[in-house]
A and B are shown apart, each in its own frame.
Chain A
Amino acid sequence: MKLAGRIEIAAPARDVWDLMIDPVSLAACVPGVQHVARVDDRTFKGTISAAVGPMEGQFEFASTIVSSEYPTDLQVETLGTDSVTRSQLQANVQAWLEPLDPGRTALAYRATVNVNGRLAIVGEMILRATAGVMIGELVKCLRARLEAGAGGRPAAADVAAGPPG
């Protein structure tokens, strides 16, 4: 499953980049994420809860920044497992920046999401829409932080939303 998008942000490219390559700020912008923990400079893990009709489950995931070449190549690999079927989800998000003028930057991304195992039976129904909305919300959240002049750093409390998991 492939997803793509582009968003313009009223902030210099460098600020956008600094925010994106910081796992803490990335994690803070993932909607509904819980139990976030920083594993190292490039990796964070967390849990997302989802329900479809009567079925409810948790996704435990770890996201790693696997490459970062300013401003054209940021790649984040995510591996997740769902609590119900123990199916594996793999997501690769590639993002790049186009500096538009000194105070404005376009952030573009492309994502591939694959599911293996039984979850793929319902995967398309849940994942495609959900992944699309989540990535969209994530980049909007990054933009909001930058445009609010948060200096590219979310408050630490935002990240420590749940116990480390």
Chain B
Amino acid sequence: MNVSGRYDLVVIGGGSAGCVVAARASEDPAKRVLLVEAGPDPRPTPDVIADPKRQGEVILQSPFVRLYEVERPDGSTFPLISGRVMGGGSSVNNMSVIRPIRRDFDAWSRFGGPAWSYDALLPLMRAIEDDPDFGDQPLHGRGGPLRLHRSWKLDDPADPPARALIAAAADFGLPRCDDLNVPEPFGVCASPYSQVDGRRQSVADAYLEIARNRPNLTILSDATATRLDIAGGRVRGVELATPDGPSTAGADQVVVAAGTYHSPQLLMLSGIGPAGPIEAVGLRVAHQLDGVGENFQDHAVVYITFQGTTELREDYLIPKVRLIAKSRPDLEYGDLHVFMRPSIRVAGIPPLLPVSIHLLDVRSRGRLWLTSADPFDLPAVDPAILRHPDDVRAMLDAMDFVTRLTAHPKLAEFYGPLISPESPDGWEEHVTSSYITYNHAVGTCRMGSADDPLAVVDPELRVHGLDNLWIADASVLPVIPHATTNLAAILVGEVAARNIARA
């Protein structure tokens, strides 16, 4: 496909936010829009992506993810993950649809002003949603592109362990929370997922599908933006590596939506960013912005495992119950997601019952940098998970809470002694040497005002100092939300589309 030529808008990255921007911008038939995605755009959607039962396979076996190996302080390694296929993260993620909480909007407003407040963005959040359960209520929406599906609600029949959990949680002051997409969610929640008729609804399905036939929208998959050509404070064109060879797309406006890992990479490859990391790989600085690649945040996850008194074969709680809890009773908001996981079964040993603890407060800040000037090399990441001592402390408090919860007589029927970590003196070592992440990376091109030295985009999401360059993805979020991040990325896409249309 020949894409060289001029577009009104080039969107780089067909992920959660990029699909939204391309779909919204092409609603105006007078606008020529090009959407470039590095991964494939397989149609019909492969079953491994569409079938929620094959979620494990998407992550563990499919070619639709990128893995970024990172190291823990003890030298052990694990991969961070992103999607590399049309739909980006939304095509490989666990499909939870959870709004940022009010506190997150308050934090974003401190960087982006009143346009980022809860009340200012509520109309957009409602417009995104199609919530069959709560859509008629003032906080919610009906008829938007993104369906919220609750396969199970709190009054539906549940297996004995799920019932025991709900009962035990009530004794711990955790109320029932039928709708977790409220400003202050807390308690035992029924989890909504982006699914339609039992199949994944990625953002490509929700937003791009109806836009695909528009004559003013060109979709180019398996094509990587390798560099932005900038001159005179503007982007003149986008250099692309396409299946047919290199090409350049000219653009009036350029939106980088390549995600938290690749938006800062593309900026730095184009000479936009901090001088040190750019020059270290032999490139020249074209536009110095020290915040590019800084401020990386992701949620820490720690598994603790109990001896099970019985084998729990069912996938009984993963898709259903989510505990939103507090690591300390005096906190004003839930800082934890807790999941009771299905049992691990190995012949010859008793069943093991893991519980995963997901810490939503992130005080540590990591960073990301180029490993080479080759756009196909992955950037390096120091995620700094649990580097802040207060994050470790919160995780230890959370473990204390979970072990007290599972010792509740109703749950003790299923949960035996804690075996990993085995003894209380080993808890901190367990935390710092076994954490993984919730796969919610944000922050590497964060927004902020012009006098903020680490701000990359302004509150409108335009790159500081470059007139026609925008960033629209989770990388602009200055603070990670107390929620999963897909909805936040979609919201950023909606905000960017609105601002670009007004510009």
Contact = CB atoms under 8 A, between A and B. Distances in A.
Interface of A: 1-2, 30-34, 48-55, 84-85, 114, 116, 118-126, 128-130, 132-134, 137
Interface of B: 53, 56, 59-61, 67, 74, 76-79, 81, 303, 305, 315, 318, 341-350, 352, 354, 356, 419-420, 422, 429-430, 433-436
A124 B346 contact: no
13 contacts: A31-B347, A32-B349, A49-B346, A52-B341, A53-B318, A55-B60, A85-B60, A120-B78, A122-B60, A129-B344, A130-B349, A132-B420, A132-B422
A126 B78 contact: no
A110 B106 CA distance: 48
Nearest to A132: B420
A34 B430 CA distance: 30
A137 B348 contact: yes
B349 A123 contact: no
A85 B67 CA distance: 13
B81 A121 contact: yes
B434 A124 contact: yes
Contacts of B434: 1, 124, 128
A135 to B, nearest CB: 11
A31 B74 CA distance: 28
Given A118-B61, A124-B303, A129-B354, 12 more contacts: A31-B349, A32-B346, A33-B348, A49-B347, A51-B346, A114-B76, A119-B60, A124-B435, A129-B420, A130-B352, A134-B346, A137-B349
Given A31-B346, A31-B348, A32-B349, A132 B78 contact: no
A82 to B, nearest CB: 9
B351 to A, nearest CB: 10
A13 B60 CA distance: 45
Contacts of B435: 124
A134 B420 CA distance: 12
Among B315, B350, B436, the one with the most A-chain Cβ atoms within 10 Å of its Cβ is B436
Contacts of B56: 53-55
Among B81, B350, B352, the one with the most A-chain Cβ atoms within 10 Å of its Cβ is B352
Nearest to B439: A121
Contacts of A132: 419-420, 422
A133 B349 contact: yes
Contacts of B348: 30-33, 137
B305 A128 contact: yes
Given A2-B433, A53-B318, A48 B78 contact: no
A50 B354 CA distance: 14
B77 A120 contact: yes
A53 B313 CA distance: 6
Nearest to A86: B61
Contact of B346 (A48, A114, A118): A48
Contacts of A124: 78, 303, 434-436
A32 B347 contact: yes
A118 to B, nearest CB: 5
A118 B79 contact: yes
A54 B352 CA distance: 15
Nearest to B302: A124
A36 to B, nearest CB: 12
Nearest to A137: B349
